[in-house]
Structure 1
Amino acid sequence: MDEKDIPRNLREEEEEEEENLSEETKSSISSLPWEIDYLGNKLFKYQGYWYYEDILQAIPNFHKSFQPQETDIIVAAFPKSGTTWLKALTFALIQRSKHPLEEDNHPLLSHNPHEIVPYLELDLYLKSSKPDLTKFLSSSLSPRLFSTHMSLDALKAPLKESSCKIVYVCRNVKDVLVSLWHFLNANKGVEWGDFSQSEKISGVDDHSFEAMFESFCNGVTLYGPFEDHALSYWQGSLEDPKHVLFMMYEEFKAEPRTQVKRLAEFLDCPFTKEEEDSGSVDKILELCSLSNLSSLEINKTGTLDGVDFKTYFRKGQVGDWKSYMTPEMVNKIDMIIEEKLKGSGLKF
């Protein structure tokens, strides 16, 4: 049903209900512990993780309204851990029967991966408590595909007893920090978090790498602490390997063919012998490669919510942190990670 077909009084009732829920959520958020982050925004701690106020309003919306379907696929990652790459690969894999890799009008050639695979909390439930998901197809041949930066802990409530698939990509925290620093400095005009100027620290021209480093070490960063975020998915993959796949960015870079085949197997769309013989694995890797995606016109000139698509593509290198961190920094963050991951079996 189109919005114009909904009776006016019903629309007004829904809008009033949504406004009341928003005010109720805002009231509960105000009682949460908070800190000022390196961008000058308030971060609120909710169920062990840090969020901006607008994202915190989206999470209850997601918990209350999202109805998972058996074939759903959710791509998850901590920010700047390879999300764009994983979105592209996952879409290309599950849609290859509908969108052959050889076609000139493949969606990835004309759309940024973030346009194709929406974030649950940033694109859908941030804008509405009950977003219209009817435009997303759902079948074994064309499953719904979403993404998130939320931890697995935050996903568990609506996904309880669901058979949907979750793919998580994890990256060395030091490279995550460097990538995030570059990304934020490339988007200094973008407002992160929905706050008034009176609640922001003004006069900041460049984001301090040292300040970001300290926040990461303290765990006070959007969606952090990083270690808890990674551990939630690591433990989920050990407990339920059929529905949670934990992938390392560094392994993807070192063995792309092996890892993309592993991803296809998990998503129940393995490559046939004929596909492998015809080079389909390499074609998907080439289509979704950083060099190819960054060279496309849409990713050179396009924008989404004020963010230039070109800023999603930088080096994508493993070990780039070596050019930015002092030995003291490396030692400090390595000790924190080692302590947090002790006994888990997860290593970087």
Structure 2
Amino acid sequence: MEDFKFDGKERLPVNYVKGIMQPVPTCDIWDQIWNFQAKPDDLLIATYPKAGLEQAKQMSSPRTLKTHLPIQMLPPSFLEKNCKIIYVARNPKDNMVSYYHFQRMNKGLPDPGNWEEYFETFLAGKVCWGSWHDHVKGWWKAKDQHRILYLFYEDLKKNPKHEIQKLAEFIGKNLDYEVLDKILHHTSFDVMKQNPMANYTTIPTEIMNHSVSPFMRKGTVGDWKNHFTVAQNERFDEDYKKKMADTSLTFHFQFS
């Protein structure tokens, strides 16, 4: 990956690994990723994009790692070592809007084109890390066989205290109310948006141009209504119904 020269003028090319689109530098080191050796006390946070295994080797235990990989592409050692995994899923309409704006500002991903074009691209699953539908369903199916805590972005927004408590129990930490309140404060969207460690503003403009769209844009539930036309919404619902017919997984598209 170090040998890949990227000046930010052009966008990174993409290729496919196991039928899933990935940026070329990821494809080039796929064998290293696949053979990554997890440790039993690793905690993995998995999400579809917008819901680095490299430096992980140097981290002391317990390590917290992050991935966007679908379950079938997860390095086998994570499941073999019975690692705890937290998966966060977000409703596909808001996810689509967020991913669209992320691709607009991030030269490390393909140019999304205009909203109408991207709508079709996303529905077809022709985006990096693959189809949203397959991603959320794959992890949902795996949660009963492995140590996976499956959380929903919408629940985290609506009742963060309850969800963080659930997360703490899963990783085996007792949180008193004072600590819980501190976590709630520091993980609130408005605070994280101002934090350079979370908002990616330290990354060069050639790679992530925050003037096109900030990395942390809105973080709301239901923003899709500002982007979807009536026709697109009907088409999306029809497509969603077909693709999600084989799962018990359900999502909230807005707060009532």
Asked if the contact 1:184/1:207 (under 8 Å) is kept, the reply is: no
Structure 1 CA distance for aligned equivalents of residues 131 and 200 of structure 2: 33
| Structure 1: unaligned runs, 5 residues or longer | 1-17, 23-38, 82-118, 125-130, 194-203
- Shift of the alpha carbon at 1:152? 1.3
- Shift of the alpha carbon at 1:297? 5.9
Selected match of 2:39 from 65, 69, 83: 69
3-state SS of 1:238 partner: coil
Q: Mapping of 1:279-318 within 5 angstroms?
A: 279-296=178-195, 302-304=201-203, 306-307=207-208, 311-318=214-221
- Shift of the alpha carbon at 1:281? 1.2
Structure 2 CA distance for aligned equivalents of residues 302 and 40 of structure 1: 19
Determine whether 1:78 maps to 2:48: yes
Write the deviation string for residues 40-88 of structure 1: whole angstroms up to 9, x where unpaired. Answer: 8754343242223222223321112x1111100111111111xxxxxxx
Structure 2 CA distance for aligned equivalents of residues 42 and 294 of structure 1: 29
- Shift of the alpha carbon at 1:160? 3.7
Asked if the contact 1:301/1:308 (under 8 Å) is kept, the reply is: no
> Which residue matches 2:60?
137
Selected match of 2:226 from 293, 311, 323: 323
Q: Mapping of 1:67-146 within 5 angstroms?
A: 67-81=37-51, 119-120=52-53, 124=54, 133-134=57-58, 136-138=59-61, 143-146=62-65
- Shift of the alpha carbon at 1:234? 0.5
Relative to structure 1, the CA distance from residue 335 to residue 48 in structure 2 (aligned partners, 3 Å threshold; closer, same or farther) is farther
> Which residue matches 2:145?
239
Q: Mapping of 1:180-329 within 5 angstroms?
A: 180-187=99-106, 190-192=107-109, 207-240=113-146, 243-271=147-175, 275-276=176-177, 279-296=178-195, 302-304=201-203, 306-307=207-208, 311-329=214-232
Selected match of 2:76 from 145, 152, 157: 157
- Shift of the alpha carbon at 1:298? 5.9
Q: Mapping of 1:37-48 within 5 angstroms?
A: 43-48=14-19
Mean alpha-carbon deviation: is it higher for 285-294 or for 309-318? Answer: 309-318
- Shift of the alpha carbon at 1:320? 0.2
What is the RMSD computed on CA atoms of the aligned residues? 2.8
Task: Report sequence identity in percent.
Answer: 28
TM-score, normalisation: structure 2: 0.83
Relative to structure 1, the CA distance from residue 171 to residue 159 in structure 2 (aligned partners, 3 Å threshold; closer, same or farther) is same
Asked if the contact 2:192/2:199 (under 8 Å) is kept, the reply is: no
Asked if the contact 1:78/1:229 (under 8 Å) is kept, the reply is: yes
- The structure number with the bigger radius of gyration is 1
> Which residue matches 2:22?
51
Asked if the contact 1:43/1:221 (under 8 Å) is kept, the reply is: no
Relative to structure 1, the CA distance from residue 228 to residue 311 in structure 2 (aligned partners, 3 Å threshold; closer, same or farther) is same
Structure 1 CA distance for aligned equivalents of residues 180 and 122 of structure 2: 36
Structure 2 CA distance for aligned equivalents of residues 151 and 297 of structure 1: 28
- The residue identity in structure 2 corresponding to 1:52 is P
Bigger helix share: 1
Relative to structure 1, the CA distance from residue 239 to residue 336 in structure 2 (aligned partners, 3 Å threshold; closer, same or farther) is farther
Write the deviation string for residues 308-333 of structure 1: whole angstroms up to 9, x where unpaired. Answer: 67922111000000011012111222
